Amino acid sequence: MYIAENSPPSPAGDEKQKMGAEFTDTAGSDETTMWSKRQQAVCVRAACKQYGSTKQPNHVLSNLNMTCAKGTIYGLLGASGCGKTTLLSCIVGRRKLNSGEIWVLGGKPGTKGSGVPGKRVGYMPQEIALYGEFTIKETMMYFGWIFGMKTSEILERLRFLLDFLDLPSENRMVKNLSGGQSRRVSFAVALMHDPELLILDEPTVGVDPLLRQSIWTHLVRITGAADKTVIITTHYIEEARQAHTIGLMRSGRLLAEQSPQALLQMYNCISLEDVFLKLSRTQGQSNQAAPLQVTGGLARTTREEAPYASEDASVKGLNFHQSKEVLLMEKGLSNGDIPSKIQPIISPECNDCGSYFKPLLNFTSRGKIKALIQKNFLRMWRNIGMMLFIFGLPCMQVILFCLAIGRDPYGLKLAIVNDDVNVMNGSCPYNKTCSMKNLSCRYLDHLRNQSIIKEYYPDHASALRAVRGGDAWGALYFNENYTDALVARLALSDSADDETLSSSEVQVWLDMSNQQIGLMLNRDIQFSYRDFAKDLLRTCDYNPKAGDIPIEFMTPVFGSMNPSFTDFAAPGIILTIVFFLAVALTSSALIVERMEGLLDRSWVAGVSPGEILFSHVVTQFVVMCGQTALVLVFMLGVFGVKCNGSIVLVVVLTLLQGFCGMSFGFVISAACELERNAIQMALGSFYPTLVLSGVIWPIEGMPWILRGVATWLPLTLATNALRSMLTRGWGLTNPDVYLGFLSTIVWIGLFLVFAILILKIKRNWQ
């Protein structure tokens, strides 16, 4: 009996099928062809799919046709690598064909209202694709909510599946299950919502023979009683005898599509494996001679064509319904007894269209968002390393920054040679009153701040040797007439001769290889001299101001007289920590899920990229609030970095920068296939951002082109804004501040748009 693919939705058509007659009407009409394709559970026509570049394509599906009727089990068999998984992923809407068409449950996968991907399909991928940190129950809850089930329904179904699939306790962690147990949980997930179409990629691998049989019995039962359709791949060819139809696949095409019994009869074999071998040999020979041609009764152009026979001549033999007929005949059923499920279905193509269109009206459903957010938190919570990373790392970074950066170096050795006074055992005596003796010792006493350790050397050469050998950061030399010359210089003022002037000078040789230490010693040596001169003048009843340089530094407009590097760098460090922690957390989030096949599974279950991003945004926001609080409490509260502006604005800007980092992380994870590439990209972006954003050095020091580029990086204006708020106390009305907010918001928008675009483009490429 043929069921015409071209039959119109009319009672007459129904009648003809009951009569077992071939159709002779309306063939060739596009409308009716489409109508008949939509009656199948799955209908694939002229499917071509290739991987790789156009120059070196790997053709995985080549002009493949496949027809799977509703209410049947379709066993897709073929050697490893022949394209089964690729075909299934195209059917569930995960991948797109390069050419050809696929109809699934009356619609094209991925189109609005088709319900595919979505809850009309149950998909069990080849890889386990489960969250290892979840218990079996949590796994079921997650997918159940995604499929829009109520908690009570999920629990009821869970009980059935635990029992049916002989699963261990529902509280067992998936990562602690055996391989076979994990596969069964994966199978249970596909069965969870009792979908119309079950797509199972090798569900029986690693499953013991008893359970394997019970799985097949279940599949036969649900296709029979509940009118469900199952497409299953398996490497155990013989178990596929229980399927209604078998599609034998080789090198991207179907060699045959028939019932197991028909195949055995036609090829006169006792096992399906023999049939497959025979067909493979035939195909091999045909390929050598010439490409397989469209022939005789299978030709698409004739009315006599078998309606379900492949349009590709390489698919040999009868169509599914012939097979089904054979099957029924074998079971002793007559045409009149054929169950309605294998007769053409002329009911509306979508019985529950209303409910499938509903989600289109809303951005998402509460169940999905609840499932996704709970999943993100659970995964974080169950991963101690990640928790430490999230909350321990920011604290550690702030503490280390405040302790290690910005403080004056101390314990710096200076080699001192004092020919002016005979220094014994490091003792350099002088009189604190208005005495003009041993002035070199008086000066040295002012140079006694904590950072400097004075070490006396006998002569000028040995002191310099100490500096060259790295034993001292500098050498100070007082000649033998130092005190007298200095007194003469003070007395003679501008009439002092050159010799007097040079003898009254302290000679200094510094190791300037370390800029910070060199500059600090330079500063201390000069400031100490100023203090010494003022002290001497004061004790001798002169105006101490005479000893100062004639420039008076008044109280600074902003900041302190003695600013520290910590105050300068702190704003940038706060933002860098929050920004890059967010980058690190999100950049690998999608990749790990994608690599484990989890993202695929969620997508097939009907979760959109937007929903996944939204759930991560919510999770990340909570994490960022915690991180921001920790960073600010340590920086401002514990280490006393001053905040002269509004703390609310500081918090908001820091959170916005966290968002910005998170959005950048999404771009990375959308763009990179492998976690290691994401890490490289995140790390690669860290250093340039740190260097160019004015975090450790003012951008005013950069060449103008670089400065122009640096200004528009995500952290630059924000760092400037935060610095202005913390040190100057400026508010939102100041351009420095509002530009920081504005640039951050613009970057967030840009990154999110990029991430969604990349995800969409990638989905279309696949």
Q: How far is the CB of 120 from ligand ATP (least distance, A)?
A: 23
Return d(Cα 352, Cα 368) in angstroms, integer: 20
Return d(Cα 244, Cα 76) in angstroms, integer: 11
| Coil, strand or helix at 37 | helix
Residue among 234 and 259 whose Cβ is closer to ligand ATP: 234
Q: In what order do the strands lie in the sheet with 245-250?
A: 121-124, 197-201, 229-233, 73-78, 245-250, 253-258
Residue among 368 and 594 whose Cβ is closer to ligand ATP: 594
Return d(Cα 260, Cα 75) in angstroms, integer: 9
Q: How far is the CB of 125 from ligand ATP (least distance, A)?
A: 10
Q: How far is the CB of 83 from ligand ATP (least distance, A)?
A: 4
Return d(Cα 751, Cα 661) in angstroms, integer: 9
| Binders in 477-506 for ligand ATP, by CB under 6 A | none
User: How many residues of this chain bind ligand ATP (CB under 6 A)?
Assistant: 12
Residue among 80 and 152 whose Cβ is closer to ligand ATP: 80
Could you give the C-alpha distances from 134 to 130, 141, 182, 188, 380, in angstroms and in order?
Answer: 8, 10, 12, 14, 11
Return d(Cα 624, Cα 585) in angstroms, integer: 10
Is-contact 405 569, C-beta < 8 A? yes
Residue among 50 and 259 whose Cβ is closer to ligand ATP: 50
Is-contact 666 755, C-beta < 8 A? yes
Is-contact 180 206, C-beta < 8 A? yes
| Coil, strand or helix at 61 | strand
Burial category of 58 from C-beta neighbours within 10 Å (exposed 0-12, middle 13-18, buried 19 and up):
exposed
| Binders in 121-160 for ligand ATP, by CB under 6 A | 126
Examine residue 193 and tell whether it contacts ligand ATP (CB under 6 A). Answer: no
Residue among 81 and 409 whose Cβ is closer to ligand ATP: 81
Return d(Cα 478, Cα 467) in angstroms, integer: 17
Residue among 78 and 606 whose Cβ is closer to ligand ATP: 78
Return d(Cα 278, Cα 734) in angstroms, integer: 81
Other CB atoms within a 10 A radius of the CB of residue 271 amount to 12
Residue among 232 and 653 whose Cβ is closer to ligand ATP: 232
* Pairing mode, strands 42-51 and 58-68: antiparallel
Phi, psi of 450 (to 5 degrees): -60, -25
513, two tokens: 């290889």
Residue among 257 and 420 whose Cβ is closer to ligand ATP: 257
240, two tokens: 């596929």
Q: How far is the CB of 127 from ligand ATP (least distance, A)?
A: 10
Return d(Cα 487, Cα 493) in angstroms, integer: 10
Q: How far is the CB of 387 from ligand ATP (least distance, A)?
A: 34
Other CB atoms within a 10 A radius of the CB of residue 228 amount to 23
As a whole number of Å, the CA-based R_g of the chain is 40
| Coil, strand or helix at 348 | coil
Q: How far is the CB of 102 from ligand ATP (least distance, A)?
A: 15
Q: How far is the CB of 184 from ligand ATP (least distance, A)?
A: 19
Residue among 83 and 144 whose Cβ is closer to ligand ATP: 83
Q: How far is the CB of 309 from ligand ATP (least distance, A)?
A: 23
* Pairing mode, strands 412-418 and 253-258: unpaired
Residue among 83 and 606 whose Cβ is closer to ligand ATP: 83
| Binders in 52-91 for ligand ATP, by CB under 6 A | 58, 60, 78, 80-86
Residue among 246 and 624 whose Cβ is closer to ligand ATP: 246
Q: How far is the CB of 700 from ligand ATP (least distance, A)?
A: 49
Return d(Cα 505, Cα 486) in angstroms, integer: 8
Q: How far is the CB of 76 from ligand ATP (least distance, A)?
A: 9
Residue among 134 and 603 whose Cβ is closer to ligand ATP: 603
| Binders in 33-52 for ligand ATP, by CB under 6 A | 51
Spatial CA neighbour of 320 closest among 232, 240, 260, 268? 260
Q: How far is the CB of 79 from ligand ATP (least distance, A)?
A: 7
Q: How far is the CB of 233 from ligand ATP (least distance, A)?
A: 7
Q: How far is the CB of 128 from ligand ATP (least distance, A)?
A: 14
Q: How far is the CB of 202 from ligand ATP (least distance, A)?
A: 7
Residue among 245 and 689 whose Cβ is closer to ligand ATP: 245
Q: Which stretches of 110-198 are DSSP H helices?
A: 136-146, 151-164, 179-191
**Location of structure tokens 């009907």:** 606
Residue among 51 and 381 whose Cβ is closer to ligand ATP: 51
Q: How far is the CB of 78 from ligand ATP (least distance, A)?
A: 6
Residue-by-residue DSSP string for 682-715: HHHHHHHHHHHTTSSS-GGGS-HHHHHHHHTSTT
Return d(Cα 148, Cα 657) in angstroms, integer: 35
Residue among 78 and 359 whose Cβ is closer to ligand ATP: 78
Other CB atoms within a 10 A radius of the CB of residue 490 amount to 19
Residue among 126 and 397 whose Cβ is closer to ligand ATP: 126
22, two tokens: 């071939």
Q: How far is the CB of 658 from ligand ATP (least distance, A)?
A: 34
Report DSSP state, residue 388: I
Q: How far is the CB of 602 from ligand ATP (least distance, A)?
A: 18
* Pairing mode, strands 245-250 and 253-258: antiparallel
Residue among 80 and 450 whose Cβ is closer to ligand ATP: 80
Return d(Cα 229, Cα 243) in angstroms, integer: 11
580, two tokens: 């890059």
Return d(Cα 37, Cα 104) in angstroms, integer: 9
Return d(Cα 571, Cα 727) in angstroms, integer: 9
Q: Which residues bind ligand ATP (CB under 6 A)?
A: 51, 58, 60, 78, 80-86, 126
